[in-house]
Amino acid sequence: MGAADLPWATSAEIAHAVGAGEQSALGVVDAALSRIAKLNPTLNAFTAVTAERARAKARAVDGSRDKSALPLAGVPFAVKNLFDIQGLPTVAGSKINRARPKADRDSPLIEKLEAAGAVLVGALNMGEYAYDFTGENVHDGPSRNPHDITRMTGGSSGGSGGAVGGGLVPLALGSDTNGSIRVPSSLCGIFGLKPTYGRLSRARSFPFVASLDHLGPFARSTLDLALSYDVMQGADADDAGCAQRGHEFATPELTRGLDGLRIAVAGGYFKKGAFPEALAALERVAKAAGARDEVEIPEAARARAAAYVITTTEGAALHLDRLRRQARDFDPAVRDRLIAGAMVPATLVDKAQIFRRWYRERVLDLFKTCDAIVAPATPCTAPKIGQQTFTLDGVELPVRPNMGIYTQPISFIGLPVVAVPVPLSPLPIAVQIIAAPWREDVALRIAHALEQMDAVAAPRPNL
Amino acid sequence: MADPLDEFIVAAAAALQLPLEPDWQAAVKANLAVTLQHANFVAGFALPDEAEPAPIYKA
């Protein structure tokens, strides 16, 4: 692996080269830091670069006697700036949080990745308090799409999408409450994993909607998603929502192919409003996966509506005191949504939670006759930065809340999803591979098979 | 005659001790109108009285 290949090397390739002594972790990390310095002024993916810490960690990996046993030896990674990083305030895309004390300990997911040999190189731009699908931020400026810097990365994990899609790092972490891993994956043309609700610990990360928040990885290959996901698993008493489950490794299952898997295509709601490119990507994935049967996810529109209501009210509850004290310090677009959320009657929120249980049971019934469902990730490819509206199904709607129309009904009940990028021209777009709860292995296995068939891939931008 | 939603927003802001500057009100109203539309769409789905909400408290 030459220096020119490093920006596009996968985590697995880097770990192999470092483990075998063909590359030093320090050399890999220095190359990543150089590329960040060169391209971040354009992409605006990073809000903090932890160069000193990264070099110290890389030297430790190089000096480790068991580096060949570390699954992520020398792999540079970065995290959405809502993850606690020791020594930095956890800003969560806000101005207000900059006054918080510096975190005294890393998020457990950072600790687990670093225990596996990975090297944290910085924190990534995001929409304020994760209430965003655009990747724009009024305080830090918009993150920019590596495939066209005049376009959105998607949000709210926009910096994560730009950093991985632009070859600044091979691995990043983000959060997904309503689609914030899957939307940037789609717009930036990379792979993203939103695990089952409760699978990965959210301890020491800044929340948004406790009953919907998930954390997960972005990468340019399915193997990298699986490797990072496997090392991050495990119960954690510090996160009340984290399930008491042991490790259920996905990496050993990756190469089992599609044999025996029943894959269906989501119809109805999930085809309504989609732009032609979203439907073209879905058709390509469905054909490669041998998915012929169409299933109707019942009441998906109502599920999306209920997710919308729970999000705005739980989010408002989280920020109520900050709204009272510092309303002027919010991004106005976030502030006005949260103030409105604070005014929604509790009776209607309870109705949404009652519907949520009904919907979960109906959707789980679908998995009695299929193992996975494929659906669009976003209705369109990346809109222009600053674009306010688009037309879905003949209706002009605001972009910011509506990029997640296909992701919200899925995260609403916590199903695991792999977003797989289809390298259409001129811009990529992703498809969701949705599995039953706790079957991340199935979604990753299908994604890997599609990758082997070249039906999906993370395209290299011309930067 | 004043729009009831405008009156509700002003009253709710006062009751909840939320700041509401005049030039924020139109955006708050637009957001609340969309949210109430979504909420009423969900509430309009008939479910039995025995249906439990998703979060269940366990002692």
Does A360 sit within 8 Å of B42, measured CB to CB?
no
Mutation to test the B interface, candidates A343, A363, A389, most B Cβ within 10 Å = A343
Residues of chain B contacting A358 with CB distance shorter than 8 Å = 45, 47, 51
pLDDT at A101 over 90: yes
- Look up residue A1 and give its two tokens: 């692996």
pLDDT tier for residue A5 given thresholds of 50, 70 and 90: confident
Predicted local distance difference test score (pLDDT) of residue A1 = 75
pLDDT in tens, A130-139: 999 999 999 9
Task: Tell me the percentage of chain A whose pLDDT exceeds 90.
Answer: 97
Examine the pLDDT at B1 and tell me if it is beyond 70.
no
Using CA coordinates, name the residue in chain B closest to A360. B54
CATH H-level, domain A3-305+342-452: superfamily? Amidase signature (AS) domain (3.90.1300.10)
Report the range of poorest mean pLDDT among A214-218, A238-242, A399-403.
A399-403
Higher pLDDT: A117 or A6? It is: A117
pLDDT at A333: 95
User: In whole angstroms, how far apart are CA B24 and each of A12, A133, A193, B30?
Assistant: 50, 21, 37, 10
Confidence grade of residue A290 (pLDDT, cut at 50, 70, 90): very high
H/E stretch holding A144:
strand A144-145
**Cis omega (within 30 of 0) for bond into B55:** no
Q: What is the pLDDT of residue B22?
A: 95
A4 touches chain B (CB under 8 A): no
What average pLDDT does this structure show over A274-295? 97
Residue A316 CA to residue A210 CA, distance in Å, equals 12
Residue B45 CB burial class (10 angstroms; 0-12, 13-18, ≥19): middle
Q: What is residue A379's three-state secondary structure?
A: coil
Query: pLDDT exceeding 70 applies to what percent of chain A?
Result: 100
Q: What are the residue boundaries of the structural domains of chain A, listed by start?
A: 3-305+342-452
Q: Which residues contact B9 (CB under 8 A, 6 or more apart)?
A: A343, B20, B25, B28, B29, B32
Chain A residue with CA closest to B49: the answer is A354
User: Is A271 one of the catalytic residues?
Assistant: no
Cross-chain residue pair A340–B35, CB shorter than 8 Å: yes
Q: Report ipTM (2 d.p.).
A: 0.97
Using CB atoms, which residue from B32, B42, B53 is nearest to A357?
A: B53
Average pLDDT over residues A241-253: 96
Q: Which residues of B touch A404 (CB under 8 A)?
A: none
Contact A215, A314 (CB under 8 A): no
A339 CB within 8 Å of a chain B CB: yes
Whether A314 contacts chain B with CB within 8 A: no
Asked, as a colleague might, if the bond just before A156 is cis with ω within 30 of 0, I would say yes
* A308 → closest Cβ in B8, B38, B52: B38
Query: pLDDT per residue over A320-329, tens digit each?
Result: 999 999 999 9
Is residue A65 within 8 angstroms of chain B, CB to CB? no
